[in-house]
């Protein structure tokens, strides 16, 4: 792979290859854009089949973080890291400490966090070598399990969509079909139930649907039947790629608003939703609660403050809808545009010289 060609395509700042023989570490840290602040993004550990696959993945994910943080109103840039290795076999204290040391070499330009294949315990090892890590285990000033924050933000975003479509932000009396009620979906169901919404749920794990039925009076449907439920809101809270040519024609909702990552299989599926008159709330905007919550650790975690910031997802979603109408574009594009406009605008403010923020020399 030509690294510079890939960097040029989406304007990456820096891609850092880190190697430590003794610890068996092969890690890549990608920093996409730091206009808004240090690049925050998780560390993924994965047995990539090839180096190119790892480079491709870390670049894609880092760029996603730029958009997510910018759309969330955070003062953070986008970055991501990957360790090439098998999380079940190749983990060790030395491995994560070696990685932590490399994070420290970037002087705070990249801040790492837990992601696929890594755990709070791994972050603890990283924390032994660097200040620039979030999501360490409890007792280290951690924000803890991010699911409640993500669910709270998703609920707020859903209300903004309801305001647009039904003229009221109250979801009371509406039917919400939730796909996946294990973690975030469960917390989301609680908020909706408390507000008086009717719930239809599905999950591949029977225990969690039973729990939702018992606690929230949710109607349980078959995994595949969730797409056919007549409802106001469909909330994908499990897999990625669930909005695709096979499912979109079946949807009987007015709004798609859930916390799953990468809900659209392709951009065409976003266009298909628009054509059907369904309001799609872009995933990375509505599911940013976990990111906002963990980012609060950088100021010394305060749960009240963090949740107040997460509530701002309501306004972020409203703004995406406004841009979509302003420019006549689908919401998934409007979300990108909102992020890009913010980066552009805030970037311009950097032109004003501040003597207190001493640069070099």
Nearer to other proteins, 12 or 216 (CB): 12
Nearer to other proteins, 26 or 191 (CB): 26
Closest CB 181 distance from other proteins, rounded Å: 41
Task: Tell me: does residue 44 bind other proteins (CB under 8 A).
Answer: no
Task: Tell me: does residue 2 bind other proteins (CB under 8 A).
Answer: yes
Closest CB 24 distance from other proteins, rounded Å: 10
Closest CB 104 distance from other proteins, rounded Å: 9
Binding mask 48-77 for other proteins (x = CB under 8 A): --xxx-------------------------
| Cα Rg, the chain, nearest whole Å | 21
Residue from the set 45, 62, 84, 323 that interacts with other proteins by CB under 8 A: 84
Closest CB 106 distance from other proteins, rounded Å: 6
Nearer to other proteins, 26 or 187 (CB): 26
| C-alpha span between 274 and 340 (Å, rounded) | 22
Nearer to other proteins, 349 or 361 (CB): 361
Q: Judged by CB under 8 A, which stretch of 4-12, 142-150, 174-182, 216-224 contacts other proteins? A: 4-12
Q: Judged by CB under 8 A, which stretch of 140-148, 307-315, 339-347, 353-361 contacts other proteins? A: 353-361
Q: Judged by CB under 8 A, which stretch of 16-24, 206-214, 269-277, 292-300 contacts other proteins? A: 16-24
- Give the CA distances from residue 82 to residues 2, 59, 101, in Å, rounded to whole numbers and listed in that order: 18, 10, 15
Rounded to a whole number, what is the distance in angstroms from the first to the last CA of the chain? 37
Nearer to other proteins, 36 or 278 (CB): 36
Closest CB 50 distance from other proteins, rounded Å: 8
DSSP class of 243: B
Nearer to other proteins, 20 or 244 (CB): 20
| C-alpha span between 230 and 235 (Å, rounded) | 13
| C-alpha span between 77 and 69 (Å, rounded) | 7
| C-alpha span between 319 and 158 (Å, rounded) | 13
Strand pairing report for 175-179 and 233-236: parallel
Task: Tell me: does residue 356 bind other proteins (CB under 8 A).
Answer: no
Q: Is 67 within 8 Å of 339 (Cβ atoms)?
A: yes
Q: Is 26 considered catalytic here?
A: no
| C-alpha span between 307 and 288 (Å, rounded) | 12
How many amino acids of this chain bind other proteins (CB under 8 A)? 30
Q: How many beta carbons lie within 10 A of that of residue 23, not counting itself?
A: 17
- DSSP E strand stretches across the chain: 14-20, 25-33, 39-46, 77-84, 110-114, 175-179, 198-202, 219-220, 233-236, 255-256, 279-280
Coarse DSSP helix, strand, coil percentages of the chain, rounded to the nearest 5 percent: 45, 15, 35
Task: Tell me: does residue 138 bind other proteins (CB under 8 A).
Answer: no
Nearer to other proteins, 27 or 251 (CB): 27
Residue from the set 106, 243, 294, 306 that interacts with other proteins by CB under 8 A: 106
Task: Tell me: does residue 305 bind other proteins (CB under 8 A).
Answer: no
Closest CB 341 distance from other proteins, rounded Å: 18
Catalytic, out of 80, 91, 159, 309:
80
Backbone torsion region of residue 265, taken as left when φ is above 0, otherwise alpha when ψ lies between -120 and 50, otherwise beta: alpha
Residue from the set 107, 173, 217, 347 that interacts with other proteins by CB under 8 A: 107
Task: Tell me: does residue 97 bind other proteins (CB under 8 A).
Answer: no
Q: Is 230 within 8 Å of 252 (Cβ atoms)?
A: yes
DSSP class of 89: T
Q: Is 285 within 8 Å of 291 (Cβ atoms)?
A: no
Closest CB 27 distance from other proteins, rounded Å: 9
Residues forming contacts to other proteins in the complex (CB under 8 A) are 2-5, 7-8, 11-21, 26, 50-52, 84, 102, 105-107, 109, 359-361
Active site residues: 80
């Amino acid at each position: 792979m030509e690294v510079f060609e890939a960097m040029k395509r989406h304007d990456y700042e820096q891609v850092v290859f880190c190697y430590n023989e003794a610890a068996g570490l092969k890690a890549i840290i990608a920093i996409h854009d730091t206009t808004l602040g240090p690049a925050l993004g998780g560390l993924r550990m994965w047995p990539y089949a090839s180096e190119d696959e790892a480079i491709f993945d870390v670049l894609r994910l880092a760029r996603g973080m730029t958009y997510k943080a910018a759309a969330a109103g955070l003062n953070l840039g986008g970055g991501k890291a990957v360790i090439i290795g098998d999380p079940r076999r190749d983990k060790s204290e030395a491995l994560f400490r070696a990685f932590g040391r490399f994070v420290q070499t970037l002087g705070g330009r990249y801040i790492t966090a837990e992601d696929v294949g890594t755990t709070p315990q791994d972050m603890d090892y990283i924390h032994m070598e660097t200040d620039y890590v979030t999501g360490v285990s409890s007792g280290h000033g951690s924000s803890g399990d991010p699911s409640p924050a993500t669910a709270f933000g998703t609920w707020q975003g859903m209300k903004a969509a309801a305001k647009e479509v039904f003229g009221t932000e109250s979801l009371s009396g509406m039917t919400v079909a939730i796909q996946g009620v294990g973690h975030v979906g469960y917390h989301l169901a609680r908020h909706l139930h408390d507000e008086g919404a009717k719930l239809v749920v599905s999950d591949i794990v029977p225990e969690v649907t039973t729990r939702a039925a018992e606690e929230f009076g949710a109607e349980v449907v078959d995994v595949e039947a969730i797409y056919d439920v007549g409802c106001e809101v469909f909330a994908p809270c499990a897999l990625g790629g669930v909005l695709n040519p096979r499912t979109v024609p079946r949807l009987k909702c007015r709004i798609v608003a859930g916390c799953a990552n990468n809900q659209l299989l392709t951009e065409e599926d976003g266009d298909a939703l628009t054509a059907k008159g369904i309001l799609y709330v872009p995933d990375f905007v509505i599911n940013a609660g976990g990111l906002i919550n963990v980012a609060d650790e950088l100021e010394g975690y305060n749960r009240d403050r963090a949740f107040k910031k997460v509530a701002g997802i309501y306004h972020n979603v409203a703004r995406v809808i406004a841009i979509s109408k302003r420019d006549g574009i689908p919401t998934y594009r409007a979300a990108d545009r909102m992020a890009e406009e913010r980066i552009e605008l805030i970037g311009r403010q950097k032109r004003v010289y501040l003597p207190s923020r001493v640069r070099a020399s």
